[in-house]
Amino acid sequence: MINGLFNLENKVAFITGGGKGLGFQIAEAFASAGCHIAICSRKRETCQESAGKLADKYNIKAMGYGCNIQSEDEVKTVVEQVLGDFGQVDILVNNSGATWGAAFEEMPLEAWQKVMNVNLTGTFLMTREVGKHMITRRTGKIINIGSAAGVKAEPPEVLNAVGYSTSKAAIHHFTRDLARKWAQHNIYVNAIAPGFFPSDMTKHVLSKKGEEIKQHNPLGRIGDDHALQGAALFFASPASDFVTGQVLSVDGGSTL
């Protein structure tokens, strides 16, 4: 009974930014539960390589795609491709993200717009297109990747990226609002707000402030390669069938 709560056999998950980092960790957690995997990013070759590894290791169907989620046309095209290849999408993970580190007064407009276009508009576009399919089937789980930075303001010496923080706070409210709107379609919308994890996006900050960040974290550490997987599997699986519109912080207590 309990094992069945986390079973994803014969489900299909579509994960943006799933070729590496946190997105790939989530994809692997789903694949280990029997889920078929579609992953996309701007680097199609990376996604195809990662998909091949998942297919070989877990004996599931996995495919990689190229997509710039800032482009409405590319989002529509890749969703059509995934539906053509898999026949359905049961789980959508909006993981693709961008950041820009700079003092607010020095942030160029184009940097602000890029962060908003990737983190917020890209999530809107992908959710809208996949959501149309989910509404037709009257089922679906959507997981948005927010951030602890969208919950708590950090001092500039730790994180100086107001555009990123603002975009992630918007993702949290987007999650709540859409969950309320789409509950009538039996579509669940939840979010995960990770704290500091090793990734391409955080490597500069962690290289300079990693030990200080650990010292100020209640659990005394940063996230590892598995710390996000349980939360993602919970939101994707039947275990969360009475949970929607929630933002779960996975941060070692840093937002307390």
**39-43, 76-80, 220-224: segment of lowest average pLDDT:** 220-224
**5-9, 44-48, 112-116, 209-213: segment of lowest average pLDDT:** 209-213
Beta carbons within 8 Å of 174's beta carbon, 6+ residues apart: 120, 123, 124, 144
pLDDT category of residue 3 using cuts at 50, 70 and 90: confident
For residue 211, is pLDDT > 70? Answer: yes
User: Per-residue pLDDT tens for 46-91?
Assistant: 999 999 999 999 999 999 999 999 999 999 999 999 999 999 999 9
Average pLDDT for residues 160-176, to the nearest whole number? 96
**End-to-end Cα spacing for the chain:** 34
Computed over its alpha carbons, how large is the radius of gyration of the chain? 17
CB atoms within 10 A of CB 21: 19
Give residue 1's pLDDT: 62
Q: Are 6 and 237 in contact (CB under 8 A)?
A: yes
Under DSSP, the state recorded for 199 is S
Q: Are 63 and 49 in contact (CB under 8 A)?
A: no
Q: State the Cα–Cα distance between residues 158 and 41, nearest whole angstrom.
A: 28
Residue 27 tokens read as 């994809």
Q: Structural domains in the chain?
A: 71-250 (3.40.50.720)
Q: In what order do the strands lie in the sheet with 247-250?
A: 62-66, 36-41, 12-16, 91-94, 140-145, 187-194, 247-250
pLDDT category of residue 115 using cuts at 50, 70 and 90: very high
User: Per-residue pLDDT tens for 86-112?
Assistant: 999 999 999 999 999 899 999 999 999
pLDDT category of residue 193 using cuts at 50, 70 and 90: very high
Under DSSP, the state recorded for 227 is T
190 - beta bridge partners? Answer: 143
188 annotated active-site? no
Given the residues 58, 65, 164, 188, the one annotated as active site: 164
Q: Which long-range contacts (CB under 8 A, 24 or more apart) does 157-161 make?
A: 157/209, 158/205, 158/209, 158/212, 158/213, 159/101, 159/205, 160/101, 160/102, 160/103, 160/104, 161/99, 161/100, 161/101, 161/102, 161/115
Average pLDDT for residues 121-147, to the nearest whole number? 98
Give residue 2's pLDDT: 73
